[in-house]
Structure 1
Amino acid sequence: MDAKLHSKIMRNLPQHSPPKDMLNKTLYVQLELHQVLEVDQKNGFWFARASFFINYYSQSAIWDPSQYNDIQYLTLKQDEIWSSDLVIANAIDVRYIANPDVFLFHNGRVTLKSSLVAVKLACSFDVTHFPFDQQTCYFKIGSAFSTQFLYNIVSESSEAVLDWYTENDQWELMRPVKLHVQRTIVDANANLGADDFVAEVRYEKAVAFYIVLICPNLLLYFLSSLVFALPVESGDKLSFISTILLAEVVTVSTLNDVLPESSLGFPIIAYFVIAIIIHLSLLCFGSVIGKLNTYCLKI
């Protein structure tokens, strides 16, 4: 690094506040989504791998490369110049961060963060149409302290970059991933607000997941109708329908392991399973009555 250039930058860019010549007092944010690693509807979170970039432009960061040994950019530590307090607002756990340094380019572009993260994010799931549900979760970047009087937030594009996205085997990403900035009013009297950068990530379950959950219930339901083909005096009639009822109870425990304890809606499939259990219980009850009636007639 050229010592003269480093000294110039450190002299021009403040360490504890945004530069006064920051272009439009604006931070530009961009997101690249690489993969949805996991969606845990049971516990209310999703796990993703992504890169996000926070930039601003300043006249104080411009230099002529020809005067500084043809240096096109500089790398500084985050504590050497002012760095925004933007964080992933709805993160539960950030597993990995890369490139924590600040990058300065000769055209005045300052990249405060260029981070690759594997992050666990909170999400509210609506399982009303489970397992045919489409979920919408959010990747939010914002500040709890800074307001628009210090800086604004602008999305560099209307959609997240998906050039390096890897599909999940259980969840299919619904493209595009929309980006927007959402302003939260902090003090209505002073017209004071704070901006959040929001990525709207929508996805749906893979087709194979439907077969695993729906087909066993449908199969048991249709098998239960075969009980009418067995003669009333046969002892197999009651044992057959009892076995079907127990098998359905096992599928209920499987659903209980998958469905969240609380959600924005009660799943329709749960009504379907309840109806099947009531239907099988009535058949079982009818088989018992029929068996008792046959026994009484013999006496």
Structure 2
Amino acid sequence: MEFFYLLILRKCIIASLACAYTLTDEDNLHTALLTGYNKDLRPGIDRTHPLNINASFYLFSINEFDLNIGKFTITGVFEIDWYDERLSWSPASYNQTNMTVIPQNRMWLPNLINVNPYKEIKGLGSDLVNIHILYSGLCSWYALQVSEVICDADVTKYPFDTQFCTLKFFIWGYQPHEVFLNFQTMHVILTLYSENGIWDITDSTTHKKMNMYGYEEIIVGFYLKRRTAYYVVSLLLPINAIQFLLAFVFLLPPESGERLGFSTTILLSIVVYLTIIQDKLPEASEPNVSILSYMLVACVVSGAILILFVILSLRIQSCPCDKPVPRSIVRLVKCCRRKAKCCQRKRNVIDTVEPMESKSEPVVDDEVIWIEVGKCFDVMCFLIFISQISITGIIYLSLVFS
């Protein structure tokens, strides 16, 4: 509450300049001000001119933002000032009493109604709040309130998403030519704000706009950006590490007998991990489902396809030696063999020049067998799945940061 009292510091300073008045003086002042005072009538002697109201919004904290149900909860205070000529007096007549407080339920108030609440519609303030009044008739209302509003979240780029949430108010019961509200600043005042652990406020806005019915909406908006460090460490990095580990099953020797068990175990680990993190993923599907959800589905599907390729590789390498290898596969294996020999020569290059006759010797290709076909197939599968994992990650990052 000490922060709240900072808001009325400038009024208290004025009051402290002359504080010699007594309880009787203030009691007489209240009797004089409220006798015959009709709180149902708006201030303003000249009814042809609107009552000018100055407003500012101070944010204290973001309490909750539930993306699944679209509930946005904050704690803040409206500072609203206006002049009521009926509440002005001469301080000299009341022993230099230059300021007093009156409960809000005994005074006229601008009836600001929240029109996008999460539950019931209600106005600002409560009967516990007092209005600070200066001798000039300046009324200052500090409406401290916890606001729960509807905020439709866009989770397309979760967990790198940004959101825009608003509080919408009407001055209920008055036309725009009767009451004119003006924001003192174009942004929410964050001097009293306590940082939220999940959301950063990148920008804010306070303004008015005319709706389709010709009434002015009072808008207090927040541009929010999610803090992503936790999600990168606990969500994205582990799932990508498991995916890369899954591709290395093709480097296991087939004779070890562990290929199928290894790949199945890794795939089950991915499914269990996705089950654990499912509660963290927002269920909202408007306007789009999270890109991350598609990436995780692709991860499971690619893992299932990888197991099929592992089974196929084991079948190839277990084929009988007397079974002929198709010509198309023979050509592919010989191409892989030549590339492997070329790479081997480059690694074994020495400073001396080889004899010319050794270079002119024809290369005699050995017979292609099914085991060699299986090894070539393993290398291709390893490169394909590593490429697929890398491309999937690049596509995901390009979509969320576009």
TM-score class, shorter-chain normalisation, is: 0.7 to 0.9
Distance in 1 separating the partners of 2:50 and 2:174: 16
Is the CA contact 1:170–1:209 (under 8 Å) kept in the aligned structure 2? no
Q: Percent identity?
A: 22
Q: TM-score, normalised by structure 1?
A: 0.85
Deviation at 1:80, TM superposition (A): 2.0
From the two aligned structures, give the one with the greater helix fraction: 2
CA RMSD of aligned residues (A): 2.8
Partner of 2:222: 201
Cα 1:296–1:137 shift into 2, 3 Å: same
Q: 1:127 aligned to 2:155?
A: yes
Deviation at 1:287, TM superposition (A): 1.8
Deviation at 1:296, TM superposition (A): 6.1
Distance in 1 separating the partners of 2:177 and 2:289: 43
- Which moves more between the two structures, 41-50 or 129-138? 41-50
- Which moves more between the two structures, 122-131 or 15-24? 15-24
Deviation at 1:18, TM superposition (A): 0.6
Is the CA contact 1:33–1:161 (under 8 Å) kept in the aligned structure 2? yes
Deviation at 1:64, TM superposition (A): 2.3
Is the CA contact 2:169–2:218 (under 8 Å) kept in the aligned structure 1? yes
- Which moves more between the two structures, 83-92 or 131-140? 83-92
Deviation at 1:260, TM superposition (A): 2.8
Partner of 1:172: 200
From the two aligned structures, give the one with the greater strand fraction: 1
Whichever of the two has the greater Rg, that structure is 2
Question: Match for 1:67: what amino acid?
Answer: S
Deviation at 1:83, TM superposition (A): 2.0
The gaps in structure 2 that reach 5 residues or longer are 1-22, 322-402
Distance in 2 separating the partners of 1:8 and 1:184: 41
Q: How does 1:54-203 map to 2 (within 5 A)?
A: 54-92=80-118, 99-111=128-140, 113-175=141-203, 177-186=204-213, 193-203=214-224
Is the CA contact 2:88–2:136 (under 8 Å) kept in the aligned structure 1? yes
Distance in 1 separating the partners of 2:184 and 2:129: 20
Deviation at 1:100, TM superposition (A): 2.1
Cα 1:9–1:196 shift into 2, 3 Å: farther
Structure 2 SS opposite 1:107: coil
- Poorly superposed stretches of 4+, deviation over 4 Å: 96-99, 292-298
Structure 2 SS opposite 1:91: coil
- Picking from 241, 245, 250, the partner of 2:267 is 245
Q: 1:19 aligned to 2:43?
A: yes
Is the CA contact 1:21–1:60 (under 8 Å) kept in the aligned structure 2? no
Question: Match for 1:202: what amino acid?
Answer: Y
Structure 1 SS opposite 2:308: helix
Deviation at 1:40, TM superposition (A): 1.3
Deviation at 1:130, TM superposition (A): 0.9
Q: 1:282 aligned to 2:305?
A: yes
Deviation at 1:163, TM superposition (A): 0.9
Deviation at 1:93, TM superposition (A): 5.6
Structure 2 SS opposite 1:114: strand
Question: Match for 1:194: what amino acid?
Answer: Y
Structure 1 SS opposite 2:105: coil
- Picking from 227, 237, 246, the partner of 1:224 is 246
Deviation at 1:199, TM superposition (A): 1.5
Question: Match for 1:183: what amino acid?
Answer: M
Higher relative contact order, structure no. (Cα contacts within 8 Å, ≥ 6 residues apart): 1
Q: 1:273 aligned to 2:296?
A: yes
Deviation at 1:145, TM superposition (A): 4.1
Aligned length: 290
Deviation at 1:21, TM superposition (A): 3.0
- Which moves more between the two structures, 251-260 or 115-124? 251-260
Deviation at 1:16, TM superposition (A): 0.8
- Picking from 28, 34, 41, the partner of 2:54 is 28
Is the CA contact 1:42–1:257 (under 8 Å) kept in the aligned structure 2? no
Is the CA contact 1:126–1:135 (under 8 Å) kept in the aligned structure 2? yes
